[in-house]
């Protein structure tokens, strides 16, 4: 069944390919990005040429998010799926990040996700139906050096996803999380004078381990795996699955142990939800069934 899908962060990387893959699967796609008429005109034109609607949206601005959601509703009449994909991936010595730099990362990766989610939820609740897919990271489960700020935002997305999953299930809205594995290629935090001075103080204690990160991923990542292909494929599969049959979490790429932590955390989470009289997970093939704990850790079918 064709669905109206809003996707954030589609100007580059996996977001653009996600939009194209879901459009190819027959869905009506609203690909959002900042400034599609000027700064990102080339990227927007590429999507428009494939019959994909492009919507201007800046996740750091309430008015921009609200306007984008209104545009989608006017054109499609509903929003069936939200894919929260937009993110930035700063790396480097945690001490080198100023408070302003850290706030900027959280405003995009965490608060931005919440802004867009809050904007679509009134319509999804009115429909009594909807799917929200949060694109997170294995670094919301596994902590490694030089990803302190980025990882903190991904841990926050884990908490938001779990809470939203339990709170919205009784209202007919399903929330799932895709944990991608991405290899950091270079330092991306702003290079203020203070940041450079603090990074320099670490010397070889930073440079040598940081330089080993790509090799770490190369050893663990399956040879034929590519995030630019695997994440869109996972999204197409998740959207196509029956309601309440989707896994709460899906690891895409090298898990680095995140899958083991997921399994342990799921059992603890389910006990807490049971104590609260809430449910998480799914009962498959029962269209009128309420979600239950049985499918909380279920993987997508092959």
Exactly one of 139, 146, 150, 210 is catalytic; which is it?
A: 150
What is the distance between the alpha carbons of residues 6 and 115, in angstroms, rounded to a whole number?
Answer: 14
Q: Of 94, 54, 86, whose CA–CA distance to 189 is shortest? A: 94
Radius of gyration of the chain (CA): 19
108-112's contacts with Cβ under 8 Å and 24+ in sequence apart are 108/59, 108/60, 109/150, 109/153, 109/154, 109/156, 109/157, 110/153, 110/156, 110/157, 110/160, 111/60, 112/8, 112/59, 112/60, 112/86
Say whether 14 sits in a helix, a strand or coil: helix
150 counts as catalytic = yes
Q: Which residues are catalytic?
A: 150
């Amino acid at each position: 069944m064709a669905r109206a899908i809003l996707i954030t962060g589609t100007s580059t990387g996996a977001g653009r390919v996600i939009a194209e893959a879901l459009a190819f699967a027959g869905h009506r796609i609203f690909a959002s990005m900042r400034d599609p008429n000027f700064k990102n005109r080339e990227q927007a034109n590429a999507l428009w040429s494939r019959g994909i609607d492009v919507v201007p949206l800046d996740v750091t601005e309430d008015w921009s998010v609200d306007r984008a959601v209104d545009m989608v509703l006017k054109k499609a009449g509903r929003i069936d799926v939200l894919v929260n994909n937009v993110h930035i991936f700063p790396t480097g010595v945690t001490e080198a990040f100023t408070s302003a730099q850290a706030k900027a990362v959280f405003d995009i990766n965490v608060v931005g996700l919440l802004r867009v989610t809050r904007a679509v939820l009134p319509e999804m609740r009115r429909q009594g139906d909807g799917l929200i897919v949060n694109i997170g990271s294995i670094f919301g489960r596994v902590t490694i050096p030089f990803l302190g700020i980025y990882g903190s935002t991904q841990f926050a997305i884990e908490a938001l996803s779990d809470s939203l999953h339990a709170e919205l299930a009784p209202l007919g809205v399903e929330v799932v999380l895709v944990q991608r594995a991405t290899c950091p290629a270079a330092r991306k935090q702003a290079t203020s004078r203070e940041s450079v001075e603090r990074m320099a103080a670490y010397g070889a204690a930073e440079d040598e381990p940081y330089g080993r990160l790509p090799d770490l991923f190369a050893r663990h990542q399956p040879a034929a795996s590519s995030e630019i292909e695997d994440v869109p494929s996972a999204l197409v599969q998740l959207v196509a699955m029956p309601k309440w049959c989707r896994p709460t979490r899906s690891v895409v790429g090298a898990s680095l142990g995140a899958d083991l932590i997921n399994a342990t955390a799921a059992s603890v989470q389910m006990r807490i939800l049971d104590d609260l009289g809430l449910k998480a997970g799914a009962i498959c093939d029962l269209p009128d069934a309420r979600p239950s704990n049985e499918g909380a850790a279920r993987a997508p079918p092959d």
